[in-house]
Amino acid sequence: MPISAERQKLYPGGSIRSVEWVREHRGPILERAGNRCEGTLQRPNCRAENGEPHPETGSIVVLTVAHLDQDPSNNAWTNLAALCQRCHNLWDSLSRTRNAAATRWRKHGAGTLDLFACEAIAAAIEDAPPPPPPEPPPPPEPAPEAKKPGLSAERLKAKIAALRAKTTEAGCTEAEAEAAAEMAARLMQDHGLTEEELVMTEASFAEASTRANWRTDLAGAVAWATNTAVILDRGALTFLGRTPGPEIAAYLQELCVRAVERERSAFQESAHYRARRKSSTRRAASNDFTEAMVRRLRERLIILFRPHHDGKASAEAKRWLATRFPERRDCTRSERKERFHEASAHGHAAGDRTRLDPGLSTDREAPRRLNAPTSGKAAR
pLDDT in tens, 317-351: 998 888 888 877 777 777 788 899 999 999 999 99
**Cis status, amide bond into 138, omega within 30 of 0:** no
Within a 13 Å sphere around the CA of 78, how many CA atoms are in the beta-carbon half?
4
Per-residue pLDDT tens for 236-265? 999 999 888 999 999 999 999 999 999 999
Cβ distance 84 to 30 under 8 Å?
no
Pick the more confident residue, 91 or 112. 91
Closest CA to 309 of 215, 209, 213, 222: 222
- Amino acid residing at 350: A
pLDDT at 104 over 80: no
What phi, psi does 59 have (nearest 5°)? -80, 155
Distance of CA 83 to the CA centre of its chain: 29
* Spatial distance between the Cα atoms of 203 and 200, rounded to a whole number of angstroms: 11
Residue 96 or 80, more confident: 80
**What's the DSSP call for residue 365?**
-
Average pLDDT for the chain:
79
Going by C-alpha positions, the residue among 356, 364, 343 that lies closest to residue 256 is 356
pLDDT given at position 314:
92
pLDDT in tens, 191-245: 777 776 777 888 889 888 888 899 999 999 999 999 999 998 878 999 999 888 9
Asked if 200 and 154 touch (Cβ cutoff 8 Å), the reply is: no
Average pLDDT of the segment spanning 78-102: 80
Q: What span, in angstroms and rounded, lies between the C-alpha atoms of 283 and 76?
A: 82
- Determine the average pLDDT of the residues in 262-277: 92
* CB neighbours of residue 305 within 10 Å: 20
Torsion sign, CA atoms 131, 137, 138, 140: positive
pLDDT of residue 147: 45
